[in-house]
Chains A and B, each alone.
Chain A
Amino acid sequence: MVTATHTGAAPETFFLRRELVNELIQALAVDDREVIGPRVEDGTIRLGPVSSAADLPRGIGLDNAPGKARLVERGDDRLFDQPPGPDSWKRWTFPARVTQAVWTDGDGTPAIERRLENPPRHITKKAFLGVRACEIAALSVHDRVLSQGPTPDRDYAARRRDNLIVAVECAVAGGTCFCASMGTGPEVRDGFDLALSEIDDGFVVRVGSPAGAAVLEGLPVLPATDTQFEHAQASVARVREQMGIAVQTEGLPERLIAAADSPHWAEIAERCIACTNCTLVCPTCFCTSVGQRSDLDGQAASTERTWDSCFTLDFARVAGGNFRTRLSDRYRQWLTHKFGTWTTQFGSSGCVGCGRCITWCPVGIDVRESLMAVAPPVAAAVVARPVIEALPVVAPPPPARHEQHGTPPVKTTVVDTHRETHDTVTLRLRTDHQPLINGKPGQFVMPSLPAGASPAISISRFHDDGFSLTVRAAGASTTRICALERGETLTVRGPMGRGWPVEQALGRDVMVITGGIGLAPLRPLLDWLITNRERIGRIQLSYGARTPGDRLYTAELDTLLSSGVIDIAQTVDRAGPEWLGRVGVVTQVIDRIMCSCDRTTAFICGPERMMQATVDVLHERGVPDERIWVTLERHMDCGVGLCGHCQLGKFFVCKDGPVFSLAELGPAFGIEGL
């Protein structure tokens, strides 16, 4: 169990003779605790069950180099003189495949039971033996990412707590290690129950918690002598010296963001094969995808969460496009996120300097070199890191009670369906789940049917007894949703995201600019604006569509138009003879609007290119970035900032957005392939 740092006094320090390692392992295994540690397996060092000292890699070293890892037989007695192998402890705390949810036949209609939020009650307690400084840092990073957000990953928390951490302070530097550069090691400072430093005839053992002390009880350990303690310190100091500083991390996040257009990305991409090895061996990567599993009829269905990687093609795919098809864009995303925007998101660098990504890259790309090539340090002088800034260790949240909060799935009933266009349907859904009824304009939900995918769809209107969704049949799953009939059930998670800042409209003129189905996320905003009409200046809706038949809510638009409550300008790209309105793109419409643009707030929704063009026009008219609001679309698998797909620079579009002001987005808006 990880506990808070001991402040002040040095932890108690003991000496364990080498022959007693077996006894230590037995002491760790008390009460059916599973001990996991390093072993020689498949020609390398793997983590796995350890039942005695004989299982440990005695006298074995691991020669790590870019793209190469070779076992070395030294023939001595030392047990832990190897750098980490490809495994990280996330194999146990954040496994590669977890059943996320199961569809059941709840009272006749299909219901989804979220296993992920109700993790198994009985997860075997473990003792992690041989946790290096970089790995303690990695666990701490995962704690922040997975447990500290608004929607904690309960499965992770359940697997993380109750484990004993027996750290090992490295006495050799691996060929690809750079923890010294990243400030995460080689010294083990905290985050452990016991910490072992191997010296010639045994181990200097530091106690980091009462649980650690309890393990040592009954073992014939003596207090460590000063000499022994100094040997241990000298040993790790040698490792620090051996490693040197390979990466200048001063100002690295800013350097990376400034290097967004560097030609070096393309150079590196020539070698990169986007095989995902780096991200999957990385102990801090956390991106996942959700897949559907079902039998032939979709009767027995479940969803499964699996490790994914920002290097895969589908990672940034949305209906109708893909934000990162180029290899260089994907490599840039990985590096910029890991070493840059991660800091803004989570308060530390995402990299702990373990070097696995360098060793296990099939073509030996060295991220230390990549960083220095793409984002060289600004100042010529080498900045030494005088003091190690250890990540403060944070305890995972207390055990979850089995109540639903966050975004549980909710059953809704279809009370009405209305075909808007040839491929778009508005479903009116009834529910009494208050968070959904009290949602904000601009928020979205993730609906799902058994065995189908769960797309993110904006709420298009709120009602006293539910809400509406306007859905385009863009793929197989949305086609099924569009085909629902009155009385049928649709399971929904939400509301999610940050909505439109409606208060920014008060006392100002408002421009709402959109195209095609983009009107759907804006309709609740329009509803609110109309309700609060007297507190708002001019309200202008500019609405473009490909053809007259592609417009939504045509009857309402006509009514609104004749009522004069708001000004509406519509345009289509092409039209037949029955269309008497404007033909042209929507930016031409805005151009003609008279507005006191310094007291205007703009709300925009549409394809990114359309939004970019609209923003350009608004800039010309003098509308400031703080009052231009857009809503973005990205690939989403979880909707709550855990799966990693929707990242844009430092933002998670699902929870930090999808509504953003241009001022917030800054350079993140409009860069191709970001």
Chain B
Amino acid sequence: MADHQAVAVATHGGGSGHATVRTYVHVAIVLAIITALEVATLYVPGIPGPVLVISLLVMSAVKFFLVVGFFMHLKYDHPVMRALFVGPLIIAIAIILAVMALFSAFVLLPRVVL
């Protein structure tokens, strides 16, 4: 029927493939596990600072991209959508890092300000 076709075009929006409900539930379970791991990492006794920070950043990045890729459907969508999000994301992260450096917030690096 025309209605279903219209819905199909609207939902697929030029992308290929589609995640199923099963995929969503699997992703949700993985997200829950990673969150638990993140919190548990905090309580590991004697963990060195850099190791803690890097493992937390990696775990949260994985969660971030799982939600973006599957729940937000970006994995299956037209490249235009990816560009519209990833470009600004890169600029935002670069600016966060630059501002941190300018305010000498990096404890791992020696102070670079006179």
Decide whether A and B are members of one complex.
no
Residues in A lying within 8 Å of B, measured CB to CB:
none
Residues in B lying within 8 Å of A, measured CB to CB:
none
